[in-house]
Amino acid sequence: MSYNSPRLTTLKVNNLVKAISKAQSIILSTHKQCDGDGLGAMLGLYHALKKVGKRVRVLTVDEVPARYNFLQPDKYSETYEGPHAPIENTDLALIFDTNDRRLVEPLFNELEEKVSTILFVDHHPVLNQGPEPTPGSYINTLAASTGEIAYFLIKDLGIHFDEKIAKSIYTSIAFDTQLFRYVKNSATSHLICAELIEHIPNSEDIHRSLFATHTIEKVQFLSKVLGEIEYFGDGRIAILKLHAKDLLDHNLNMDDSRDVIDMLMNINTLQAAALFREDDKDLYKMSLRSKGNIEVLGIAETFHGGGHMYAAGATVEGDFTKLKKEIVDLILNRLDGHH
Ligand SMILES: [Mn+2]
């Protein structure tokens, strides 16, 4: 019986490796309201660069959600709102999981003053109507997570993996692929994780920390809101509105709303979903998801948002009934091929 070994798609990150090698001092950051991908990628690189004697700081724009406490962000990273020390002149900043500087403000503004070279390390498409990424940035939409890019950086720098590095990078990949559901039809995420897991004594704890985070109050919240889903287009579209205040009343934070839309996408007839989180009167954080037959990034871009082809978002303002109709029509047009 013949056996073809699975193929690892190697990312060519030479230019980033050069920039890192040249730099003595490095700041690592990611977009505001950070998630497991950006956080895991930068903490992995942080632990790796510490091993080779670089001066490294991890700065997040705002607070890291509690589900990531197992990575000890309190110990290894600082928030821009309350840094341990002022930001000093620094050779290089790498910003993970976005190429849109607006999502890194107000930190980005200060980095521009203090840092010689700022590079984005990302896997989101560059927005048609957004700010240009800084020159020399590494953007590869074939990477299923930015943790994979960090993995190749660490490999190419010749740094050996240890438990802390492996846990961080594994978190990044496990989170963005949702435990290998979204792997861009490649074996790469699996292969990298197969190598990393050798260094992780309790990988199932990571899975639980990332995905089994429901409190009893959260389940009560879910049972209330899931009854309010509206369906359109013969059950192919789901729309749900949440109130930020409702989240807070159930002791949940903004990070919890992302689980709700992931849950909607488990409905078998569904092709696309939109979640509107009302943060203020007539002001919504809109999240869009698609199972892959239609793109939703274009819809988000219509509202000056961004994201991935099949998972995107934007801040939208206006009357909910009108917004809902507009979004349903845009999705229906795509599903029925009239665009
Ligand atoms: Mn990501």
Structure confidence by residue, pLDDT tens digits, 53-64: 999 999 999 999
State the pLDDT at residue 247.
86
State the pLDDT at residue 258.
82
How far does the centroid of ligand 1 lie from the alpha carbon of residue 97, in Å? 5
Segments of the chain scoring below 50 in pLDDT: none
How far does the centroid of ligand 1 lie from the alpha carbon of residue 38, in Å? 6
182, burial (CB in 10 Å: exposed 0-12, middle 13-18, buried 19+): middle
Structure tokens at 303: 């509202």
Q: Is the Cβ–Cβ distance between 30 and 80 less than 8 Å?
A: no
> What top-level class would CATH report for the domain 216-335?
alpha beta
State the pLDDT at residue 257.
82
- SS3 string, 100-128, reads CHHHHCCHHHHHHHHEEEEEEEECCCCCC
State the pLDDT at residue 2.
57
How far does the centroid of ligand 1 lie from the alpha carbon of residue 266, in Å? 20
CATH topology for the 14-211 domain: inorganic pyrophosphatase (n-terminal core) (3.90.1640)
Lookup result for tokens 């199972």: 291
Sequence-ordered alpha helix ranges (H) in the chain: 14-22, 36-51, 73-76, 107-114, 146-156, 163-176, 188-196, 203-211, 216-226, 244-249, 257-264, 297-302, 320-335
How far does the centroid of ligand 1 lie from the alpha carbon of residue 307, in Å? 9
How far does the centroid of ligand 1 lie from the alpha carbon of residue 321, in Å? 31
Task: Give the whole-angstrom CA distance, residue 34 versus residue 14.
Answer: 26
Task: Find, among 198, 215, 184, the residue nearest to 310 by Cα.
Answer: 184
* Residue extents of the structural domains in the chain: 14-211, 216-335
How far does the centroid of ligand 1 lie from the alpha carbon of residue 168, in Å? 14
Task: Provide the β-strand partners of residue 56.
Answer: 26
How far does the centroid of ligand 1 lie from the alpha carbon of residue 34, in Å? 10
Ramachandran region, residue 233 (left: φ > 0; alpha: ψ -120 to 50; beta: rest): left
How far does the centroid of ligand 1 lie from the alpha carbon of residue 91, in Å? 25
How far does the centroid of ligand 1 lie from the alpha carbon of residue 144, in Å? 7
Task: Find, among 203, 247, 192, the residue nearest to 70 by Cα.
Answer: 203
How far does the centroid of ligand 1 lie from the alpha carbon of residue 138, in Å? 14
How far does the centroid of ligand 1 lie from the alpha carbon of residue 31, in Å? 10
Task: Give the whole-angstrom CA distance, residue 173 versus residue 19.
Answer: 24
Backbone φ and ψ of 174, nearest 5° = -60, -40
How far does the centroid of ligand 1 lie from the alpha carbon of residue 1, in Å? 38
How far does the centroid of ligand 1 lie from the alpha carbon of residue 112, in Å? 23
How far does the centroid of ligand 1 lie from the alpha carbon of residue 258, in Å? 14
How far does the centroid of ligand 1 lie from the alpha carbon of residue 123, in Å? 7
How far does the centroid of ligand 1 lie from the alpha carbon of residue 99, in Å? 11
How far does the centroid of ligand 1 lie from the alpha carbon of residue 35, in Å? 8
Q: Cα-Cα-Cα-Cα dihedral of 15, 41, 184, 5, to 10°?
A: 80
Ramachandran region, residue 41 (left: φ > 0; alpha: ψ -120 to 50; beta: rest): alpha
How far does the centroid of ligand 1 lie from the alpha carbon of residue 14, in Å? 21
CB atoms closer than 10 angstroms to residue 140: 16
How far does the centroid of ligand 1 lie from the alpha carbon of residue 173, in Å? 9
Largest CA distance in the chain: 64
Sheet arrangement for strand 55-60: 77-79, 55-60, 25-30, 90-96, 115-122, 138-139
Q: Cα-Cα-Cα-Cα dihedral of 170, 175, 178, 183, to 10°?
A: -60
Give the long-range contacts of residues 66-70, CB within 8 A, separation 24 or more.
66/253, 66/255, 67/36, 67/209, 67/210, 67/213, 67/255, 68/36, 68/39, 68/171, 68/209, 69/209, 70/167, 70/205, 70/206, 70/209
Structure tokens at 113: 């003053």
How far does the centroid of ligand 1 lie from the alpha carbon of residue 15, in Å? 21
Half-sphere exposure of 325 (CA within 13 A, CB side): 4
How far does the centroid of ligand 1 lie from the alpha carbon of residue 2, in Å? 36
DSSP letters, 203-253, are HHHHHHHHH----HHHHHHHHHHHTT-EEETTTTEEEEEEEHHHHHHTT--
